[in-house]
A and B are shown apart, each in its own frame.
Chain A
């Protein structure tokens, strides 16, 4: 846990321990030798890897220091990096993502609620109480909206294998398509929930991938159908998206791929019922 000694870091260390995560070490420069919730703190990620055999890290450091902390983790041999931090300049992510990939490190995020596998472990900030073990995989670009949907699923009796918050930034480490491929491969996952939103073309690419490669039932929700066309990234951005990126385009892509799309977040649970 990088950034373990901050207020949020301490709180979520406790929550992760309660969830069953083996939190073996924390890192905050200058705080070596202290403990948080019984977890030893080190100055450097390399020390945490060498002395406590950490193989995954969750980044909880402020945006201006996130790139530095992430590179330190990758260089120390961390293989799974969850970056919760929001408001990281995307030029930092442009540097970081291909670099981490070239070193064999999987990055989730930034600007994401992390990962949770009920009954096993959690690396992130999602509220523990929402989850229930089950056979649905959840992939989401959003934070609180994910909680809303997972909560509705759990209440309707649909538990989760793993919930992956891939993050809401323009440049992210793991795409919706990559997460879909993991769930397609995962034997325990029998159905998949996608939570998308307007902007970018992740949902359209996911729909295309589902049509070609995914045999498990998928249901989706797309936020932003009432948003005005307003903000777009100049003309160049419009070219890349080439008419994609709107809620209509995403809902149509899902419909064409045979993926039912919920109108309200809670309706995801109703749609799941028709997949069993």
Chain B
């Protein structure tokens, strides 16, 4: 789950991390009392909005409304701006960076800071980045905060505020099941306060059940992706034109790779997981047909999955939707022979291996069959 800046800041504030005053608006005339002078910031789930013209200053209420009107509805890297956040403008003395994520290899959270905030952290030279692992079993210890303050070479009062923010950010990271907590820039103001200038927060989708309060947040999914999400199906839209249904993430990727090697391109892919329930298969198939692919490639490696029941789901979907889209199917599992008969009876092209299925899909698409 990703969070818009204003929502992330609301959560930051709940953990005691200082954030600027601000108001949210989805129409210019909703703006009545913005903190002036202010920054008008596009609320989108994508980075780089500043460079795209999505963050602009305003001095008066009239100007704030005018600028908001220009930013609302903008397209920023494919995301439409539906909300703006009008935030008090701070006097900036220094811009720092603070980030928390996990280091898979070390199996530990990683706290990252640099005195070179306000820029893309990827562009910060490695030697200017301070990275400290946090032992999850024990928690954030004072020595980590000391070494952080040392690396940033801050005055004592500022260092204490930064340490306090780091402690609160870590608490948030753990309690909210975050994948990423990022403050860039972490602003040191002219009058010596430390405030989160921006807020990036991503929460582990697998922990959604522990955070029902975030369940209805807009994730900027396409309508089909939303429908799939609501049905518990992994469904991702890519820019090719061949629809792929497979089971398991690895096999789905391997199928897309095989298509690419044979000169095709996956358009939509859908991971069926471990199911062989015909109703689920049918549901998945219906979603895929709605995405309007030029051909559908089904690749199921079951072993214990019943191939014939998967085939039955495919047949039901094709029958009920009167689908004209050609289907290439490779289904391995129990009762394969029966499955092939069912698939042939609805005019699909059966294949034996991934390579064969991929090649067949590309040929069918280009009218070669």
Residues of chain A at the chain B interface (Cβ within 8 Å): 11, 15, 63-64, 87-91, 93-95, 97-99, 102, 125-127, 129-130, 140-148, 151, 168, 170-171, 175, 195, 197-198, 200-202, 205, 221, 223-228, 233-240, 263-266
Q: Name the residue on B nearest A126 (C-beta).
A: B303
| 8 Å CB contact of B254 from A90, A126, A265 | A265
- Given known A98-B135, A200-B104, A225-B257, contact A145–B180 (CB-CB < 8 A): no
Q: Which residue on chain A has the smallest CB distance to residue B259?
A: A226
CA distance A265 to B175 in the complex (A): 40
How many residue-residue contacts, CB under 8 A, span A and B? 172
Q: Measured between alpha carbons, how far is A175 from B266 in the docked complex, in Å?
A: 31
User: Which of B108, B129, B355 lies in contact with A266, CB distance below 8 A?
Assistant: B355
- The number of residues on chain B lying at the interface, defined by a beta carbon within 8 Å of a beta carbon of chain A, is 59
When the two chains form their complex, are residues A264 and B354 in contact, meaning their CB atoms are under 8 A apart?
yes
A127/B248 in contact, CB under 8 A = no
CA distance A180 to B113 in the complex (A): 34
B100 within 8 A of partner (CB) = yes
Contact A171 B206 (CB under 8 A): no
Interface SS of B by simple majority = mixed
Q: How far is the CA of A129 from the CA of B301 in the complex (A)?
A: 13
Q: How far is the CA of A8 from the CA of B206 in the complex (A)?
A: 21
In Å, the complex CA distance between A93 and B107 comes to 9
Interface residue ranges of B159-205 to A (CB < 8 Å):
174, 177, 179-180, 182, 184, 200, 202, 204
Q: With A63-B206, A239-B112 known to touch, is A223 a contact of B250 (CB < 8 Å)? A: yes
| B102-A171 in contact (CB<8A) | yes
7 more A-B contacts (CB under 8 A) besides A90-B102, A142-B249, A265-B254?
A145-B250, A147-B303, A202-B105, A228-B239, A235-B200, A236-B101, A263-B257
- Contact (Cβ within 8 A) A201 B104: yes
4 shortest A-B CB distances, which residue pairs? Answer: A142-B250, A127-B303, A145-B250, A144-B248
**Chain A nearest CB, measured from B346 CB (Å):** 24
Kindly supply a per-residue 1/0 record for chain B positions 211-239, scoring 1 wherever the CB is within 8 Å of any chain A CB and 0 otherwise: 00000000000000000000000000011
5 contacts between A and B (CB under 8 A): A11-B304, A63-B209, A99-B137, A125-B304, A127-B303
Q: B47 touches which one: A87, A88, A233, A235 (CB < 8 A)?
A: A235
Q: Is the CB of A263 within 8 A of B261?
A: yes
Check A235/B258 contact, CB under 8 A, given A89-B177, A98-B107: no
